[in-house]
Structure 1
Amino acid sequence: MENKIVQKIQNLLELAYDAPNDEEGQTALLMAQKLMFKHKLSMSDVTATKTNNNIGEAVGTWEYRLPWWQEELAAILGKNFRCQTIRRRKMDEGITEVIFFGYQSDTELCTRVYEGAILYLKYRLKRLLPTVTKSRWKDYKKSYLLGFLEGLDHRFRDQVQSSEEYALMVQVPEEVLEEQQQRMGDLKSRSLKMAFDVDYEAYLSGLEQSKETKLLSEELLNGHQI
């Protein structure tokens, strides 16, 4: 009986990974999580029999000059998708990569959501550009992004605090941490420092937008896990 349940959960997760931002994919993920809770199964129980769920890394993005907000967005998503987020500078190529390290199924999902989030925010900025004067735009853009990212982070924090089960599910698995330590050693923490005048109108706009965006389904955020 348990094997059939595990197989059903695996099928639902595969559907979710194929379309993480699609309504069908999100519904499949919620159903998988409910079954896991009901039958007291962990992600390791579900993925133990999957040959393609090795621990490794996935490149979320790479840039010659990595924007601060893309790095911050990756950090927020990584810690809520059971992944270690790593910033890696490749000097010989002159690029900076954002890496998600974890189980393959987790890194794939996190990468897809991350890519979608970047496209979404670029779209929002493009829409905002004509509404702001050129002299105001630089601080406005940073303030909007800061508000959006802080709002998104708060949404995750609220969910973690509201559900002990959710908090346990989004933790980076111990075996992932051990594997990352063996391959890469200790990771240096990095704090982003930005000097600019906060535009509070833009900041509040980003904060409100983070609450309304459908980038992350409200049903999932109010349920169990992304």
Structure 2
Amino acid sequence: MSTNNKILDKIKNLLSLAEDGNNDEESQTALLMAQKLMLKYRISQNEINEHGEQKIVVKSLSVYKRIYWWEKILVRIIAENFRVMFYIQSNRLPHQTSVQRKIVLMGYPEDVELAYEVYHLASKAMRYHASQYIDNHVDKKLKSKSYSNQLRRSYYQGFLDGLDNKFATQRAQMQKDNDQYALIIQTPQDVQEAFQREVKGSLTFRLPESNKDSASYTEGYSKGTNISLSNNYLESSN
């Protein structure tokens, strides 16, 4: 088994700890452990990357469908932390009345695979805990669809902001501990150049309105950022 496959298997095993979405701390800790392992691995592979040409691949996060606002935010967070680029691909079949879209990742194979795994884990955890929050805080007899959607939007926004902040905090700390991280975390230059050559257009969208002072936003933010990492477990996983 290649070194690349070994590190991916190790990271996937960590991510599988939280696949059921039933433990928010395990889910979010797995995300951060995946980032830490990726960065450590990249430092050990840096010399190889400098002297050998890397293959650049693309991988879709889903089939063609409607893309929701939170998917665009989440993929940006993942791309910024896992060395990949992303873009939107559109298509409309003759029998369809509307354009369908999908998000596509671009990067080195091992980076794309890791970003794909982490994206779906984060998505699953966020949706699970938002539904739990709504079920626990809204009387089912009085619950309206519009009100539930409002709570869900605020929760999602809070979760994404919290997750983004947590990744940024960990990244800053790791760069402080080892200045090599500042370069390793960046998307490789040849991936950026391939993206500029092959991808046209830009990703634009309008965020839905959400109240950042609301209880649902605050709870979502807490879930996204309130993590207790075990350094001993992280070190033993290497």
Name the TM tier (shorter chain).
Answer: 0.7 to 0.9
Report the counterpart of residue 21 of structure 1 in structure 2. 15
Number of residue pairs the alignment of both structures matches: 207
TM-score with structure 1 length normalisation?
0.74
- For the Cα contact (< 8 Å) 2:131–2:152, is it kept in 1? no
- For the Cα contact (< 8 Å) 2:12–2:117, is it kept in 1? no
Mark the runs of 5 or more structure 1 residues left unpaired by the alignment.
1-6
Q: Tell me the amino acid that sits aligned with residue 59 of structure 1.
A: S
Q: 1:98 to 1:20 in 2, by over 3 A?
A: farther
**Separation of aligned partners in 2, 1:45 and 1:213:** 32
Of 46, 49, 62, the residue aligned with 1:45 is 49
- For the Cα contact (< 8 Å) 1:9–1:36, is it kept in 2? no
User: CA shift at 1:73, angstroms?
Assistant: 0.6
TM-score with structure 2 length normalisation?
0.71
Q: Tell me the amino acid that sits aligned with residue 173 of structure 1.
A: P
User: CA shift at 1:120, angstroms?
Assistant: 1.5
**Separation of aligned partners in 1, 2:120 and 2:218:** 24
Report the counterpart of residue 158 of structure 1 in structure 2. 169
**Separation of aligned partners in 1, 2:112 and 2:9:** 15
Report the counterpart of residue 82 of structure 2 in structure 1. 81
- For the Cα contact (< 8 Å) 1:84–1:100, is it kept in 2? yes
- For the Cα contact (< 8 Å) 1:12–1:32, is it kept in 2? no
Q: Tell me the amino acid that sits aligned with residue 75 of structure 1.
A: R
Q: Identity, % of aligned pairs?
A: 21
Report the counterpart of residue 169 of structure 1 in structure 2. 184
- For the Cα contact (< 8 Å) 1:13–1:28, is it kept in 2? no
Q: Tell me the amino acid that sits aligned with residue 78 of structure 2.
A: L
Report the counterpart of residue 3 of structure 1 in structure 2. none
**Separation of aligned partners in 2, 1:204 and 1:96:** 31
Report the counterpart of residue 106 of structure 2 in structure 1. 101
User: CA shift at 1:14, angstroms?
Assistant: 3.6
**Separation of aligned partners in 1, 2:75 and 2:40:** 26
**Separation of aligned partners in 2, 1:28 and 1:203:** 26
1:129 matches 2:130: no
Report the counterpart of residue 206 of structure 1 in structure 2. 220
